[in-house]
């Protein structure tokens, strides 16, 4: 008789006490992809028992962030712990009736006038559980003592609620950060007392700052919404987060969601902390930007364009976007480029100085001679595209010295030490404007 395989069920239980953290987002992706590749399901619940700190705006941010990453789940099964008080009370009463938990008369300083809590009766034994990443882990629970599982019958605490929720929803796999390893023995004790099966545990390495400390706001953005607002692409963020703590064992660094669904393996999760490297994230994001069509690029960057260029001539703007695309790692970078005046030469003739138009030791006469020849060549070009301009000028520039020919041409068009190549500039500016700027430069050299 064939064995009936149990449906894989994972869960994501964030607390709505802050915006969606990149660490929680990474955990969500691992749970989601593992469940999906096994034809299972990821459940979502909000651990909102901290009434003072839980807020609706954080709940909305978490849901929006998951949606932005492309993580979908059955929202009809979503629930909040704050709505399940009667369920937790039932389990507490059963544990007390079975003498596995008890009311403890004591002064609880943090709770003001509270003089009793509910403690779990610890059996004081050694517990061993299997972790996918770390193998067998053993704890002596004696040191835990009789730990508190509720402030009262109406106020359950984390260790009880998480066990009840996982049990009632049939969670088979708990995939979470390894800062939860120390919570596991308490939860196993409660599972055994309730008769709940033990899920398979996978504890992920924490995401660390470059100095290997815990990632926090002092290291920059930690909330997913901040990265979205800076103009990172969701596909790039998914790609980057999936490779934090997991390695496919190959040199491949750019993955589609379908490739992750095929290649992801819990057994290839590393033990050591995963360093959050903004330079690497920027590289991954740029790789995705480079693959975008011009239409998609314009659609994505339009909200980041400053008004001073957003309302310019549509045809010119489309041409400029190709230059911007090569120079940014994320969409918000365009703001700095524009504010620094690095694109001003597209919208007006630049101010030029004679000495800036001269390549190294050439002298003004040589620079003028080359620009005269450039004009002669450009005037004969009918299809004034960047490719045709380069094709017509390249042999002359190569023969005379590319720096000697192309430097004065590029500076005449941009007035900048750094700018796109002169062929790209000329193609964007058009034949009339290009010739006018070069003639102005010749006048300055005379």
Both 87 and 221 in one domain: the answer is no
36-48 pLDDT, tens digit per residue, is 999 999 999 999 9
Among the three residues 207, 231, 258, which one is the final residue of a domain in this structure? 207
Mind listing the pLDDT tens digit for each residue in 50-62? 888 999 999 999 9
> Rounded mean pLDDT of the chain?
93
Same domain, 44 and 102: yes
Tell which wins on pLDDT, 300 or 317: 300
Within a domain: 314: yes
Q: Is residue 181 part of a domain?
A: yes
Cα 344 off chain centre by: 32
Q: Tell me, yes or no, whether 229 lies in a domain.
A: yes
The conformation of residue 7, written as its DSSP 8-state character, comes to P
For residues 48 and 110, state if they share a domain: yes
Instruction: Answer whether residue 369 is part of any domain.
Output: yes
**pLDDT score at 2:** 44
**Tens of pLDDT, residues 329-346:** 999 999 988 888 888 898
Q: Percent of the chain scored above 70 by pLDDT?
A: 96
- Average pLDDT on 353-379 reads 95
- DSSP secondary structure letter of residue 9: E
Q: What is the dihedral of CA 379, 384, 385, 390, to 10 degrees?
A: -10
Mean pLDDT value of segment 257-272? 95
Into how many domains does the chain fold?
A: 4
401: in domain: yes
The model's pLDDT over 15-37, given as tens digits with 9 standing for 90+, comes to 999 999 999 999 999 999 999 99
Dihedral pair phi/psi, residue 113, rounded to 5°: -90, 5
Q: How far is CA 315 from CA 83, 290, 304, in A?
A: 56, 21, 18
Split at pLDDT 50, 70, 90, the class of 347 is: confident
Domain boundary, last residue among 188, 207, 226: 207
Compute the distance between CA of residue 444 and CA of residue 439 in angstroms, rounded to an integer. Answer: 9
> Has residue 105 been placed in a domain?
yes
Determine contact, residues 23/67, Cβ cutoff 8 Å: no
Cβ burial 302-318 (10 Å sphere, 16+ → b, else e): eebbeeebeeeeeebbe
Residues 174 and 187 in one domain: yes
Q: Is the pLDDT of residue 109 over 70?
A: no
Structural domain for 86, as ranges? 9-207
Does 217 belong to an annotated binding site?
yes
Q: Domain for residue 179, yes or no?
A: yes
User: pLDDT digit string (tens) for 177-203?
Assistant: 999 999 999 999 999 999 999 999 999
Residue 182 burial (C-beta neighbours within 10 Å; 0-12, 13-18, 19+): exposed
Q: What is the mean pLDDT of residues 92-101?
A: 98
In a domain, residue 3? The reply is no
């Amino acid at each position: 008789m064939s064995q009936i395989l149990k449906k894989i069920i994972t869960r994501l239980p964030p607390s709505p006490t802050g915006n969606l953290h990149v660490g929680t987002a990474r955990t969500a992706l691992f749970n989601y992809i593992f469940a999906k590749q096994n034809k299972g399901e990821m459940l979502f619940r909000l651990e909102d028992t901290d009434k003072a700190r839980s807020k609706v705006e954080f709940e909305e941010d978490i849901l929006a962030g998951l949606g932005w990453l492309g993580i979908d789940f059955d929202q009809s099964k979503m629930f909040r712990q704050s709505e399940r008080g009667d369920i937790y009370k039932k389990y507490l009463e059963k544990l007390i009736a079975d003498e596995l938990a008890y009311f403890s008369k004591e002064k609880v300083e943090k709770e003001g006038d509270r003089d009793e809590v509910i403690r779990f009766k610890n059996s004081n034994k050694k517990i061993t559980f299997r972790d996918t990443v770390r193998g067998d882990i053993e704890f002596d629970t004696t040191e835990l003592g009789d730990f508190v599982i509720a402030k009262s019958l109406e106020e359950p605490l984390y260790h009880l609620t998480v066990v009840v929720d996982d049990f009632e929803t049939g969670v088979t796999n708990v995939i979470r950060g390894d800062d939860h390893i120390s919570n596991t023995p308490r939860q196993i004790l409660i599972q055994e007392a309730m008769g709940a099966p033990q899920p398979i545990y996978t504890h992920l390495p924490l995401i660390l700052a470059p100095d290997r400390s815990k990632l926090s706001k002092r290291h920059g953005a930690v909330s997913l919404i901040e990265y979205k607002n800076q103009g990172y692409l969701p596909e790039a963020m998914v790609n980057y987060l999936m490779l934090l703590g997991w390695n496919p064992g190959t040199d491949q660094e750019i993955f589609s969601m379908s490739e992750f669904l095929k290649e992801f393996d819990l057994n290839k999760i590393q033990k050591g902390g995963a360093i959050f490297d903004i330079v690497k994230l920027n590289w991954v994001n740029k790789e995705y930007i480079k693959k975008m069509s011009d239409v998609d690029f314009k659609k994505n960057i339009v909200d980041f364009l400053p008004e001073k260029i957003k309302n310019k001539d549509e045809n010119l703007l489309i041409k400029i976007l190709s230059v911007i695309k090569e120079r940014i790692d994320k969409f918000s970078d365009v703001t700095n480029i524009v504010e620094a005046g690095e694109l001003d030469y597209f919208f007006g003739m630049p101010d030029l100085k004679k000495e800036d138009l001269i390549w190294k030791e050439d002298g003004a006469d040589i620079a003028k001679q080359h620009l005269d020849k450039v004009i002669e060549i450009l005037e004969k070009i009918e299809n004034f595209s960047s490719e045709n301009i380069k094709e017509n000028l390249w042999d002359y520039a190569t023969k005379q010295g590319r720096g000697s020919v192309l430097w004065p041409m590029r500076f005449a068009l941009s007035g900048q030490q750094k700018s796109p190549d002169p062929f790209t500039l000329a193609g964007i500016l058009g034949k009339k404007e290009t010739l006018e700027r070069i003639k102005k430069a010749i006048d300055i050299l005379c």
